[in-house]
C-alpha cells in the first residue's frame, strides 16, 4: 500500500524537510544573521476553501493574509521591514472583489507599518494568497528558551475566534475575532526585552504548548486564569460545543504565548494574562476550575490528517 | 455588466496594486535599502495545472520552483541569501512524490548556493508552490537603465523551452530546457559590474522588451543574430508552428536579457549573444533574415486573458 501525505500528516512532512535542510531553525520564522542584526523572514499560504470562513469579506481576506505573516514577526520580536504578496485569483472574480482584497492587504500593511514591496499575480481555481513578511531584530525571541519557574502568559483572551467560526451573526466580538484578528506586533517588540520565549497562537494553545515543549520541561495551565467569561461558556453550551476544546484546540486568535520571569512580569509595560507556569513535570497539564488536573491533549489544527 | 479579472488581464491588476502602493519599485524584485547594501526579495507562485508541463517529474517541479525565483535575483545581480518554500499538496499525493518535490527543491538550492531557510506546508486540490528568494547587492541592476547606443544581449539562445513544451520526447535539448531550465545567477553577478540594465526572460523576449521600454527609446533586434538553428526551424515547421513566435512570445528559458556599452562588451568575461541595439525610434522592431523590418508585437504569456 502506497503511503499518502494524509496518512502521515503535516508535522511529519515538515520533519522531512527540516531533517534534510541544515539551514532551517525550527522556530516561528527563518533567521539570517546579517551585519550586526538578523533578517527575519517568514511565509504563509492561505487557501480560500481551507483558511477563510465562508462569510468572510474580500477585504478581510486580504487583511488576514498580512496578519498571519506579521504574527510570526511579532513572535520573534521583530521590527517589520517589508511584505510580499503572491496572489492567485479565479478568472471570473470581479474586479471589484479583486480591489477589495488588495485594499484589505494595503490597509493591513498600513496598520502594521509594514510596506508592501512586491509580489506576483496568477490565476487559479480559487483565491490563494501567499504572503512573505520580512523583519529585523538584533535579538530574535525564540520559542523554547524558557526556564523552570517562568510564568506563562498570553497577550489576550483566546478561544474567541474558534467560537466566532461557529456563529452565524457577524456583529459580536467572537465573529470579529474570527474574521479580522490582529497580529500583536507592538507587543512582540516590547516582549523582546522582557520575555524568555514567545510564539504566536495559530493552531490552538495546546498545539503551541507541544510545539515549544522541551524534554524535562512541563507546563501547568490554570483554567481559572484563562479569563473564560460566562457568556463564552453559555454560547458554547448552546452550540453543543466544549468551551475548553474551543480554547485549547482551534486557534486563529493570533495572540502571543510567552514566558517571563516573575521579576520581569512586574516591570512589563503591556497588558497580558498570566495563565500558568513552566515546570519540570515533562507533561502539559491543565488544572480545571474544580481543582482536578488533566493532561492537555496534543491536538490542534493540522492539515492532511484524515477525519 | 460586471467586469471580471479575465476582462482586464494580469498587467492591469498589477498596475492597480502598484498605483496604490508607494513602496513598490516596479523591477524584477523588491529592493530594500539596508546598512550599506540592499536586501533583494522576490516571490513567485507556481500552480501545477498552469505552470508545469504534464510530463514534468516531481523532482523537476521542485527544482523549477527555486529556479523561477532565483532568476529574479540573477536579473538584479544579487548574491543569494535564502529561500522560503510555501507548498500546498493534495492529500492523496504519495509520500514518495512529496519527497521527490522536496529533493528537487533541495538540489536546486544546493545548485544555486541559496540555503532553504523556512516555509509553510498546506493542503490544496493540486500542487501549489510559492517560493520566496532573498538576496543582497550593493548595486541593484535595474531593468530600464539602458542608454541609446547600448547593445542588447542575452546570456543564451531562447525559444528552446517553448519548442520543448510542444515535443513528446523528453530526451532532447528543447524538452530538457522546458522541464529543467536554469537561472543565470552567476552571469547576473558578473553583469552587475558591466551591464547598464538587465531582466530575465520569463514570458518571451517580446514581452520583456515591452516591459523595459521607456518613452523615446526603441529596440532593434536582428533575426540573424538570434542563433536560430536549422534544426529549430525544421522542428517548428514539422509541428506547424511559427519559429519566430516560439522565440519571441512564449518564454520560460530564464536567460538574462541585458544591455551593455560596446566598450564593456569587449571586457565582459562571460559568453553571451548580442542580438540588437537600443535606439531612439520609440518602437520595438525586428530586422528579419530577408532584410525586412517588422514591428514586434507586444504579446507574451499573460494570465487571465481570455483566449
pLDDT tens digits, residue range A108-119? 999 999 999 999
Name which of A16, A82, A98 is nearest B5 (Cβ-Cβ): A98
Contact B21 A124 (CB under 8 A): no
> Where does the pLDDT of residue B306 fall: very low under 50, low under 70, confident under 90, or very high at 90 and above?
very low
Query: Is it the case that residue A158 has pLDDT exceeding 90?
Result: yes
pLDDT at B301: 54
Name which of B117, B124, B132 is nearest A47 (Cβ-Cβ): B124
Give this complex's ipTM. 0.94
For residue B102, the chain A residue with the least C-alpha distance is A17
Q: Is B18 on the interface with A (CB under 8 A)?
A: no
- In the predicted model, what is the mean pLDDT of residues B274-295? 97
Burial of B257-272, coded b for 16+ CB within 10 Å and e otherwise, reads: bbbbbeebeeebeeeb
Query: Is it the case that residue B125 has pLDDT exceeding 70?
Result: yes
* Contacts B134 to A, Cβ<8 Å: 32, 39, 41, 134
- In the predicted model, what is the mean pLDDT of residues A65-74? 98
pLDDT at A136: 98
pLDDT at B25: 86
pLDDT at B11: 84
Cβ atoms of A284 and A209 closer than 8 Å: yes
pLDDT at B9: 83
Average pLDDT along chain B? 94
- In the predicted model, what is the mean pLDDT of residues A123-139? 97
Contact B20 A115 (CB under 8 A): no
Q: Average the pLDDT over each of A212-221, A295-304, B115-124 and give the range with the smallest value.
A: A295-304
> Where does the pLDDT of residue A1 fall: very low under 50, low under 70, confident under 90, or very high at 90 and above?
confident
Q: Average the pLDDT over each of B33-37, B200-204, B265-269, B302-306 and give the range with the smallest value.
A: B302-306
Position with higher pLDDT, A1 vs B182? B182
Cβ atoms of A167 and A175 closer than 8 Å: yes
Query: A210 CA to chain B: closest CA distance, Å?
Result: 18
The C-alpha torsion from B50 through B56 and B59 to B60, rounded to 10°, is -70
Cβ atoms of B233 and B153 closer than 8 Å: no
Among the listed residues A14, A124, A47, the one whose alpha carbon sits nearest the alpha carbon of residue B121: A14
pLDDT in tens, A260-273: 999 999 999 999 99
> Where does the pLDDT of residue A2 fall: very low under 50, low under 70, confident under 90, or very high at 90 and above?
confident
pTM here is 0.95
> Where does the pLDDT of residue B92 fall: very low under 50, low under 70, confident under 90, or very high at 90 and above?
very high
The C-alpha torsion from A62 through A66 and A67 to A72, rounded to 10°, is 150
Cβ atoms of A86 and B45 closer than 8 Å: yes
Measured in Å, how far apart are chain A's first and last C-alpha atoms? 20
pLDDT in tens, A229-281: 999 999 999 999 999 999 999 999 999 999 999 999 999 999 999 999 999 99
Q: Burial-class residue B280 by CB neighbours within 10 Å (0-12, 13-18, 19+).
A: exposed
What whole-number distance in Å separates Cα of residue A236 and Cα of residue B153? 67
> Where does the pLDDT of residue A300 fall: very low under 50, low under 70, confident under 90, or very high at 90 and above?
low
Query: Is it the case that residue B305 has pLDDT exceeding 80?
Result: no
pLDDT at B176: 95
Amino acid at each position: 500500500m502506497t503511503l499518502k501525505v494524509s496518512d502521515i500528516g503535516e508535522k511529519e512532512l515538515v520533519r522531512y524537510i527540516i531533517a534534510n535542510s541544515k539551514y532551517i531553525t525550527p522556530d516561528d520564522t527563518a533567521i539570517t544573521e546579517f551585519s550586526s542584526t538578523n533578517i527575519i523572514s517568514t511565509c504563509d499560504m492561505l487557501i480560500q476553501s481551507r483558511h477563510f470562513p465562508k462569510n468572510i469579506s474580500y477585504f478581510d481576506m486580504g487583511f488576514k493574509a498580512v496578519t498571519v505573516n506579521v504574527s510570526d514577526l511579532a513572535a520573534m520580536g521583530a521590527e517589520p521591514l517589508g511584505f510580499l504578496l503572491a496572489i492567485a485569483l479565479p478568472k471570473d472574480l470581479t474586479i471589484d472583489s479583486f480591489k477589495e482584497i488588495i485594499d484589505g492587504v494595503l490597509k493591513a500593511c498600513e496598520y502594521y507599518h509594514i510596506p508592501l514591496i512586491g509580489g506576483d499575480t496568477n490565476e487559479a481555481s480559487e483565491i490563494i494568497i501567499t504572503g512573505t513578511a520580512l523583519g529585523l531584530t538584533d535579538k530574535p525571541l525564540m520559542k523554547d528558551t524558557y526556564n523552570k519557574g517562568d510564568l506563562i502568559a498570553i497577550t489576550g483572551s483566546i478561544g474567541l475566534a474558534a467560537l466566532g467560526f461557529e456563529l452565524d451573526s457577524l456583529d459580536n466580538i467572537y465573529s470579529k475575532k474570527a474574521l479580522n484578528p490582529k497580529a500583536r506586533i507592538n507587543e512582540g517588540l516590547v516582549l523582546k526585552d522582557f520575555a524568555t520565549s514567545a510564539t504566536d497562537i495559530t493552531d490552538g494553545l495546546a498545539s503551541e504548548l507541544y510545539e515549544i515543549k522541551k524534554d524535562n520541561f512541563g507546563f501547568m495551565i490554570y483554567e481559572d486564569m484563562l479569563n473564560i467569561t460566562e457568556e463564552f461558556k453559555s454560547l458554547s453550551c448552546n452550540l453543543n460545543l466544549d468551551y475548553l476544546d474551543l480554547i485549547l484546540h482551534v486557534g486563529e486568535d493570533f495572540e502571543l504565548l510567552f514566558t517571563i520571569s516573575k521579576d520581569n512580569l512586574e516591570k512589563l509595560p503591556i497588558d497580558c494574562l498570566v495563565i500558568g507556569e513552566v515546570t519540570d513535570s515533562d507533561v502539559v497539564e491543565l488544572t480545571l476550575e474544580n481543582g482536578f488536573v488533566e493532561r492537555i491533549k496534543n491536538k490542534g489544527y493540522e492539515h492532511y490528517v484524515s477525519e
